[in-house]
Structure 1
Amino acid sequence: MRYLKWQFKFETHNFYKYLVIVFYLSLIFSTLQNMSDENKNKYATILTQSISYLENRGYKNIKANLKGYTTPKSYAKVGSDITITPDIVAEKEGRKHYFELSLKSKKTNLLKSKWLFLNTLTALKSHRFRIITTRGHFQFTHNILEDIHLNNKKLIIV
C-alpha cells in the first residue's frame, strides 16, 4: 500500500512538470512566419555562423532549422497548431544541448515563453540549454533573461 502512495506522488509530480510545459506551449506562436525577408536572411546568416562556431567547439550530430541540416524535433501542443522547434540541437560528450538564437524582436513575450519552455524541458530531461547572441543584441538578450529570471544562463556571443 505504501508503494502505491509513493507511486501516485511521483506521477503527480511529473504531471505538474508536464502541465508547466503545456502552459508554455500555449503561449508560443511561430515567430518566423511574420519575419520580413531581410530579417530571415540575417537570421540565416547568424544561424550559419553559430553552427560553424559550435562545430569548432567540438559539438557533433548538429541539427538545425537550416537547409543542409536535419530539422530538430518539434514540440506541438495537442489540439492546437502551436509548435516549438529549437534553433540548434547538438551533442557533446554524450549530452544533448539545445541552442536558441537571440535577436532583437518586437514579440518579446513569445520569445520569453519559448525560452522558458525550452529551459523547463531541458531541466526535465537533464539536457543543457544555451542562448546564442551577437554584438548589438547582447543588452536586449540580457534584459529578457532578467525579466524571466534566467540570470544564471551564460550567453554565447558569436
Structure 2
Amino acid sequence: MIYTDKEKYSDILVDSIAYLENRGFENIKADIDGYETPKSYIKKGSDIAVTPDIVATKEGRKHVFDVSLKSEKPKLLKSKWLFLNTLSNLKSYRFKLITTRGHYKFTNEMLEAINLSDKNLIKI
C-alpha cells in the first residue's frame, strides 16, 4: 500500500502481521507503530521513498510483503511493486502480496498490467 493509505488501513496491516506470525515468520519489521521500520529506498533525484509494508524471515530466507488494497494512485503502487520485485530478485528474497476480500480483482488487474501475474497472492 502507498504511504497515504497507511493510516486508513492500519487494521489490515496488523491482521497481516498476525497471519505471518502464525505461519512461523520471525524478525518481523513493519511500517507501523510498535514494530521496527523496514529499510527505505529513496529514488535518486526526487523525494519519493519506497518502504516495504512488512519484511520478515523464515527458515533463513528474507521475505518482503506488500499489502495490496485499492488505491487512488495505481501508477505509484505499480512502480512500488516493480521495484520490490526487482530488488527481491537481485538479493534472492521472496516478494509476496497480501490482499483481503474486496481487493482481489483490483490486485489481479494491477499484476496483469505490469506482467507480474505469476505472483501468488496471500488472501486474508
TM exceeds 0.5?
Answer: yes
Check if 1:32 corresponds to 2:3: yes
Check if 1:130 corresponds to 2:96: yes
Of the candidates 94, 111, 120, which is equivalent to residue 77 of structure 2?
A: 111
List structure 1 segments (4+ residues) > 6 angstroms apart after TM superposition: none
Larger strand share, 1 or 2: 2
Using the TM superposition, give the Cα deviation of residue 40 of structure 1 relative to its aligned residue in structure 2, in angstroms: 2.1
- How many residue pairs get aligned? The number is 124
Extract unaligned runs of 5+ from structure 2.
none
Larger helix share, 1 or 2: 1
Using the size of structure 1 for normalisation, the TM-score is 0.75
Identical positions, percent? 62
Using the size of structure 2 for normalisation, the TM-score is 0.95
Using the TM superposition, give the Cα deviation of residue 81 of structure 1 relative to its aligned residue in structure 2, in angstroms: 1.1
- What is residue 144 of structure 1 aligned with on the other side? 110
CA deviations over 1:13-56 (Å, ceiling 9, x no partner): xxxxxxxxxxxxxxxxx9424x4xxx723x10000000000000
CA root-mean-square deviation = 1.5
Rg comparison, structure with higher value: 1
Residue type of the partner of 2:15? Q
Extract unaligned runs of 5+ from structure 1.
1-29
